[in-house]
């Protein structure tokens, strides 16, 4: 569970035998048979259905077999035929039914759930099916699909900084997903990138980041820049496990995932009408639209993790790296920053105080 929640970036594939879905089935079985109180059942189920866990699960494989088959397989290589507390026909039959009802109850909360009957299959055949499904899923994950909207759906008269309400209808009604390479090369599309400005509560201080040079293209506006934000592209996987969702919630889920991946901390964006930045300067920025969530917290007690693959603490001696906490005025004067960071400081959070500088007309 620690690997799933906190260390998933260190591994590429996690295969869980008797994982989260199995736990849900057992809670259902215990509750149905009067072995678990209602309040405990609800708390246990809510815990295992937490988005921080479900977001890491791409495929649930449920295998079904008759009680006779299960018992025959269990005792095939044992010296005894003595029944256990679970390996009894009536228990297996009741649990089998619970698995079926649990599939109907919870499958909408997972990206993909597959059930397969194995009564007439050998172990080799089952292993083949598992491998095939897993490879197909991995291929789909590798072909990353990102969120975008048609540029024609956005008012071209908008300033470079505006509120989400200006594009809410376009995002809710027109955001779709396509393979990243195709989207990147289509000038008629605008890619949505939720970003978090991680700010000291009550002070004009923000945590900055720096992308590894190997992680960005030569023409990227983020290359060799001090960034006043964290975040990235919306992926299809950010939407296909949420239960009650609108696309703003998908953006927030994306931001949670991106910040967790980049610096290893949890954020909980709450703004319902965040600022947006859309810079039209003839560069790649023109096809990228940032949705900006300001996250205030105690930065002195915030510990981050940087793996060096996407974000780096220091690429060269004397260069500001990821995790540094800088005064916004200092950022403007001394650091090499990108256009989004400049707009964030000048038009969203302000460089001198914590009030809404853009709203007050200071800039």
Q: Across residues 113-119, what is the average pLDDT?
A: 93
pLDDT value at residue 354: 42
pLDDT at 357 over 70: no
- pLDDT tens string 8-19: 667 778 888 888
How does pLDDT run across 164-177, given as a tens digit for each residue? Answer: 999 999 999 999 99
pLDDT greater than 80 at residue 317: no
Query: What stretches of 33-66 show up as alpha helix (H) in DSSP?
Result: 38-48, 51-54
Ordered by where they begin, the domains of the chain are 2-142 (no CATH), 145-360 (3.90.79.10)
Q: Give the whole-angstrom CA distance, residue 269 versus residue 252.
A: 6
- Running DSSP on this structure, what letter comes out for residue 349? I
Residue 309 has pLDDT above 80, yes or no: yes
- Count each helix (H run) and each strand (E run) in the chain, helices first: 13, 11
User: Cα dist. 234→33, 90, 115, 362 in Å?
Assistant: 43, 47, 29, 32
Determine the length of the chain: 363
Is 158 a residue whose pLDDT tops 60? yes
Task: Check whether 349 has a pLDDT greater than 90.
Answer: yes
Question: How confident is the model at residue 268, as a pLDDT?
Answer: 95
pLDDT in tens, 33-62: 999 999 999 999 999 999 988 998 999 999
pLDDT band at 360, cuts 50/70/90? Answer: very low
Predicted local distance difference test score (pLDDT) of residue 9:
64
DSSP code of residue 185: T
In three-state secondary structure terms, 313 is coil
């Amino acid at each position: 569970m620690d690997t799933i929640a906190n260390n998933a970036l260190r591994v590429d594939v996690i295969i869980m035998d008797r994982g989260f879905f199995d736990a849900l089935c057992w809670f259902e079985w215990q509750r149905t048979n009067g072995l678990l109180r209602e309040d405990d059942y609800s708390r246990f189920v809510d815990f295992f259905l937490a988005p921080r866990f479900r977001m890491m699960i791409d495929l649930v494989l449920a295998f079904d077999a008759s009680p006779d088959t299960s018992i025959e397989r269990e005792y095939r290589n044992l010296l005894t035929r003595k029944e256990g507390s679970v390996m009894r026909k009536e228990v297996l039959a009741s649990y089998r039914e619970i698995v079926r009802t649990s599939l109907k109850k919870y499958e909408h909360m997972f990206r993909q759930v597959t059930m397969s009957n194995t009564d007439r299959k050998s172990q080799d055949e089952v292993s083949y099916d598992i491998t095939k499904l897993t490879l197909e899923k991995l291929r789909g994950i590798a072909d990353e699909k990102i969120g975008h909207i048609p540029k024609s759906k956005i008012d071209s008269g908008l300033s470079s900084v505006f509120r989400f309400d200006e594009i809410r209808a376009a995002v809710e009604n027109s955001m779709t997903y396509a393979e990243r390479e195709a989207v990147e090369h289509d000038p008629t599309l605008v890619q949505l990138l939720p970003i978090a400005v991680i700010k000291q509560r009550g002070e004009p201080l923000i945590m900055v980041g720096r992308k590894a040079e190997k992680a960005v293209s030569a023409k990227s506006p983020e290359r060799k820049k001090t960034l006043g934000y964290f975040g990235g592209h919306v992926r299809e996987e950010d939407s296909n496990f949420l239960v009650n969702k609108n696309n703003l919630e998908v953006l927030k889920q994306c931001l949670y995932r991106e910040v967790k991946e980049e610096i290893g901390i949890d954020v909980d964006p709450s703004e319902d009408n965040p600022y947006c930045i859309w810079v039209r300067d003839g560069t790649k920025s023109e096809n990228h639209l940032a949705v900006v969530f300001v996250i205030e917290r105690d930065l002195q007690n915030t510990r981050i993790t940087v793996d060096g693959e996407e974000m780096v603490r220091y690429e060269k001696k004397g260069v500001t790296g990821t995790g540094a906490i800088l005064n916004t005025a200092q950022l403007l004067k001394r650091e090499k920053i990108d256009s989004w960071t400049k707009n964030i400081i000048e038009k969203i959070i302000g460089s001198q105080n914590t009030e809404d500088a853009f709203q007050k007309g200071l800039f």
